[in-house]
Amino acid sequence: MARTAVPRRLGDRLRWSTAELVERRYESATAQTLALAVPGWPGHLPGQHLDLRLTAEDGYSTQRSYSLASAPDGDRIELTVQRVADGEVSPYLTDDLAVGDPVEVRGPVGGWFVWRPEEQSEPVLLVAGGSGLVPLMSMIRVRRAVGSRVPFRLVYSVRGSEDRIYVPELSHGEPGLDTTFLYTRTTPSGWPRAAGRLTGEDLARWGWPEDFEPTCYVCGPTGFVETAATYLVGNNHAPERIRTERFGPTGG
């Protein structure tokens, strides 16, 4: 049984299936959550992503990866797409795709950058740069959905307060989740920390001490992720407890 069951499940994840846009929500001026109905979606772990493929009438096809933002919810999944102004796929998803339109998806993908609530009881540090918050939000939502009491800390770096996503959800004071906003370009008036990029001191102050042995999840643009991971190692976090996901080549 096991020898046939495992390849079949893997085959399901590698197969493209047709999803339909069922709802769109605005998270910021440039980021939107797209809810998709995916018949037969096998479920996912928080932190995983999927591949999304678009095909034009002339047969041209292109694909990108998007993290799952939602907790598992049957055939409904949510992605949050940050519009990259000169991008090929993200402006189509945010500006042109209409409710009822199809897209192809394949997944879920990824087995390392995941949080498994039934196996992991250690504290969790989430470090997000911009839209890198998306898979980390799935972890927060799953924590809530399963009633986990694992303590979470989120350090979320964005250019300015208008760039933040999921603000209502992050602002309602969830027990066991401490959220710190860091602004790289402009701060709200009277904000105690000057605008600037993430530092090792920020992570030491707002993250967990290394002797708590947290698992650290870092996600965002490539440069952000590499810098943040280097700071965590510099703060004596064991490299094997730092898990990273890179969204794109540049930016911050």
Ligand X SMILES: Cc1cc2nc3c(=O)[nH]c(=O)nc-3n(C[C@H](O)[C@H](O)[C@H](O)COP(=O)(O)OP(=O)(O)OC[C@H]3O[C@@H](n4cnc5c(N)ncnc54)[C@H](O)[C@@H]3O)c2cc1C
> What residues line the site for ligand X (CB under 6 A)?
49, 64-67, 80-82, 84, 86-90, 131, 134, 221, 245, 247-251
Tokens 């493209």 -> residue: 16
- Residue 114's nearest CA partner among 209, 38, 217 is 217
Residues 217, 123 contacting (CB under 8 angstroms)? no
CB of 128 to ligand X, least distance (A): 11
Residues 227 and 230: their CA atoms lie apart, in Å, by 5
* Cβ distance to ligand X smaller for residue 80 or 184: 80
Kindly state the smallest distance separating residue 161's Cβ from ligand X, in Å. Answer: 19
CA distance 223 to 247: 10
Write down the least CB distance from residue 80 to ligand X, Å: 6
SS3 category, 75 = coil
User: Which residue number, 123 or 138, has a Cβ lying nearer to ligand X?
Assistant: 138
Q: Which is nearer to ligand X, 215 or 244 (CB)?
A: 244
In the bound complex, what is the minimum distance in angstroms from residue 214's beta carbon to ligand X? 22
Q: Give the nearer residue to ligand X in terms of CB position, either 28 or 131.
A: 131
Q: Where are the beta strands (DSSP E) in 113-221?
A: 124-129, 152-158, 177-183, 215-220
Nearest-CB residue to ligand X?
A: 87
